[in-house]
Chains A and B, each alone.
Chain A
Amino acid sequence: MKKSNLLLALAATGLLAGLIACKKETKTETIYVDNTPPPPPPTLYTRLGGVSAITLVVDKFINNCATNAFIGARFAPAAANPDRLQVLRFNLIDQICAGSGGPCQYKGRTMVQSHTGMNITNPEFDTLVVQLVKAMTTYSVPTKEQNDLAAILLPMRTDIVGK
C-alpha cells in the first residue's frame, strides 16, 4: 500500500513537472515567434516637437538676430517688413522641418544664391549660430537635439560665408 502511494506521488510529481515544462516551452516559443522588427527611431523632427515647436524656435531666433548688436542690421529690416518676414520665417521653418525629416518642403533659393553679394563673415555666422542655440535653450530643446540640428545646419557655412 505504501509502495503504491509512493508510486502515485511520483507519477503526480512527474505529470506536474511535465506540465510545467510544457508551459515553459510554450512561453519560450511565444517569445521566439514574436520577432517583429523594432519601430524605427523617431526622426529629429518628431524629437523637436513638430512644426509648431520649430516655429517657436524660429520666431525667437529671428528676434534674437534682429535685436543683436552685431548682426541686427542684417535681420531687422527683413523682420520689420511683414511680407519679407513671412518669407524669411517660412523659409527657415521649411528648411529646419525638411532637414530634420519632417513633411515640409523648402522652396526658397539655394544658400549660395541667397547670400551671394552679402559678404557675410565668419564672426557674423558664428553670432547667428549662438542666437540659434539661445533660441533652442529658451524653449528647453535638449542638447542632443541641438547638436543634431547643428549637424544639419552648420555645413551651410561654406555656402553662406564670403559669398
Chain B
Amino acid sequence: MKRIRVIKWVRYATVTALLMFLCLLIWANWEPKTYTEKHIPNDVQYIQLNTGQVSQPQLMNELEQKISSVQGVSSCSYSKVAQTVGVMFRTSVLNTPALIKKVNAITGLNVSVKEIPTSGGCPVGGVKYFFISIKNALKFRA
C-alpha cells in the first residue's frame, strides 16, 4: 500500500517537473532572438586584476594594448588609482586562469583576481537575472 503511494507521488512529481520544464521551454522560445542577440556573442565575463603600481602613463597604455591583444579579450581598462586592470573577455575562447597566465606572460607582472561584489550598483539587478540565464540556456529559436 505504502509502495503504491510512493510510486503515485513519484509519478506526480515527474509529470509536474516535465510540465514546468515544458513551460520554461515555451517561455524561453516565445520571442525570436533580437538583432543584437543574433549578431553579438553574449558569452562575456568581466574581471578586475590587481597589477601593482604602474606609474608611467606610457606603460599604462602599453599594458592596456598588450592585454587587449590577447585573443578573446574584448576590452581592457587600467585604473591608476585602484592599480587594477579591468578585462572583459569571451568565455568560449578564454577562462580566468588561462587569461591570468597569458597576462602574466605578456606583461611580466604577477596579477591576481580582485574580488568585486556582484550585487548592488547599476540598475540591473534582482532575481530576474536568474531567469535570464535559464532563458539563454533553453533558447533555441533563431
Question: Chain A interface (Cβ within 8 Å of chain B)?
Answer: 51-52, 55-56, 59-60, 62-64, 66-69, 72-91, 93-94, 97, 102-105, 107, 109, 114-115, 118
Contacts and interface: CB of A to CB of B under 8 A. Distances in A.
A103 B35 contact: yes
Interface residues of B, number: 41
Nearest to A94: B36
Contacts, number: 132
Contact of A86 (B39, B42, B86): B42
Given A55-B40, A83-B130, A84-B118, A67 B48 contact: yes
Contacts of B119: 77, 81
Nearest to A81: B118
B125 A59 contact: no
B77 to A, nearest CB: 4
Query: Interface majority SS on A: helix, strand, loop or mixed?
Result: helix
B116 interface: yes
B123 A59 contact: no
Contact of B82 (A60, A72, A97): A72
A118 B78 CA distance: 26
Contacts of A51: 35-36, 39-40
Contact of B35 (A104, A109, A118): A104
Contacts of B81: 69
